[in-house]
């Protein structure tokens, strides 16, 4: 009887252990800024998520920027002006990021911040390296990962590069909604349910995000305007923080998605949400969270 009881207990425990492994979710936060001016309400939130001024240990990764050291130093000074003594920057190329010694430099970091610039430079340095693995380990263990502009674009699995295949007019960019025009590359994949775009309303980037959402209707499109951020919680909900808006495109249930002879994309029943400061959205249920937590 004791042996049977032990067996029953073991069988009861196994699913719980499996559930812990299968359903374990990252415990950190993401703070994704659309570029432009970063108001104190945004940067103070980042510092608080990193543990507060006294406990935060923030690492700036400025590899998207043209002037790496200047960008890194400026961000260190900004965080220190906010009362964060433990802020530093680290510049790595791909070869250095492949060295496990570089990954160990991330130990003890509670907040990572990607600066703006060219997102392709950032992924070229860190993608598929031990440092990228260490970044995801930090996030899984509670750190906040943040970034602005290029540092926002790298957050999703599908990363917008800013380039087009069919329109070569750099003055009038993204002038149509067309298949196979927007060039993407693999991003870091902290966001798995959406494609992130930035400087969104300010630079009129709706066409490129709509194009990608119609090509990938299982993914949401989240366009974050300047001076605005989304704070993504571990449960895949986010809050809008800042001065402007966030636009969310949803083509999951759109019908008649097709391409004409010229490659123009069309669809019926696509959903658009326009969110402002304080609004909350659920990426999993693809719905606005109303007061009281109702979806």
Q: Could you read off the pLDDT of 28-51 as tens digits, one per residue?
A: 999 999 999 999 999 999 999 999
- 199 catalytic residue (yes or no): yes
- 149 catalytic residue (yes or no): yes
Find the mean pLDDT for residues 128-139: 97
Q: Maximum distance among all alpha carbons in the chain?
A: 80
Structure tokens at 253: 């249930």
Q: Could you read off the pLDDT of 232-251 as tens digits, one per residue?
A: 999 999 999 999 999 999 99
Domains identified in the chain and CATH numbers: 25-283 (3.40.50.880)
Q: Could you read off the pLDDT of 3-32 as tens digits, one per residue?
A: 444 433 343 433 333 333 334 455 899 999
Find the mean pLDDT for residues 135-159: 97
Find the mean pLDDT for residues 205-228: 97
Q: Could you read off the pLDDT of 274-294 as tens digits, one per residue?
A: 999 999 999 999 999 987 666
- 164 catalytic residue (yes or no): yes
| H, E, C per residue of the chain | CHHHHHHHHHHHHHHHHHHHHHCCCCCCEEEEECCCCCCHHHHHHHHHHCCCCCCCCEEEECCCCCCHHHHHHHHHHHHHHCCCCCEEECCCCHHHHCCHHHHHCCCCCCEEEECCCCHHHHHHHHCCCHHHHHHHHHHHCCCEEEEECHHHHCCECEEEEEEECCCCCCCCCCCCCECCCEEEEECCCCECCEEEEECCCCCCCHHHHHHHHHHCCCCEEEEECCCEEEEECCCCEEEEEECCEEEEEECCCCEEEEECCCCEEEEECCEEEEEECCCEEECCCCEEECCCCCC
State the catalytic residue, choosing from 164, 215, 226, 239: 164
pLDDT at 7 (0 to 100)? 39
State the catalytic residue, choosing from 29, 156, 199, 239: 199
pLDDT at 21 (0 to 100)? 35
What is the average pLDDT score of the chain?
Answer: 90
State the catalytic residue, choosing from 65, 71, 102, 149: 149
Residue 203's DSSP bridge partners are none
């Amino acid at each position: 009887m004791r042996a049977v009881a032990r067996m029953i207990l073991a069988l009861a425990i196994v699913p719980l252990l499996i559930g812990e492994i299968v359903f374990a979710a990252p415990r950190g936060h993401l703070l994704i800024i659309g570029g432009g001016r970063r108001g104190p309400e945004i940067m103070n939130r980042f510092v608080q998520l990193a543990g507060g001024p006294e406990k935060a240990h923030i690492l700036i990764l400025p590899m998207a920027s043209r002037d790496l050291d200047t960008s890194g130093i400026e961000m260190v000074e900004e965080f220190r002006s906010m009362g964060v003594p433990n802020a530093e920057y680290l510049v790595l190329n791909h070869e250095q990021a492949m060295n496990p010694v570089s990954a160990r430099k991330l130990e003890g970091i509670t907040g990572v911040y990607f600066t703006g610039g060219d997102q392709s430079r950032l992924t070229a340095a860190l993608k598929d390296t031990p440092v990228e693995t260490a970044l995801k380990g930090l996030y899984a263990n509670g750190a906040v990962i943040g970034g602005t502009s290029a540092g926002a674009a790298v957050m999703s699995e599908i990363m917008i590069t800013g380039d087009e295949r069919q329109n070569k007019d750099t003055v009038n960019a993204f002038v149509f909604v067309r298949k196979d025009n927007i060039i993407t590359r693999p991003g870091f994949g902290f966001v798995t349910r959406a494609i992130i775009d930035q400087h969104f309303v300010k630079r009129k980037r709706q066409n490129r995000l709509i194009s990608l959402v119609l090509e990938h209707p299982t993914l949401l499109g989240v366009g974050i305007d300047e001076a605005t951020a989304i704070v993504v919680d571990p449960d895949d909900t986010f809050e809008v923080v800042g001065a402007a808006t966030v636009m969310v495109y949803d083509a999951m249930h759109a019908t008649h998605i097709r391409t004409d002879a010229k490659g123009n994309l069309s669809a019926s029943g696509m959903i658009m949400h326009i969110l402002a400061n304080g609004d909350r959205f659920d990426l999993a249920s693809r719905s606005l969270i109303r007061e009281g937590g109702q979806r």
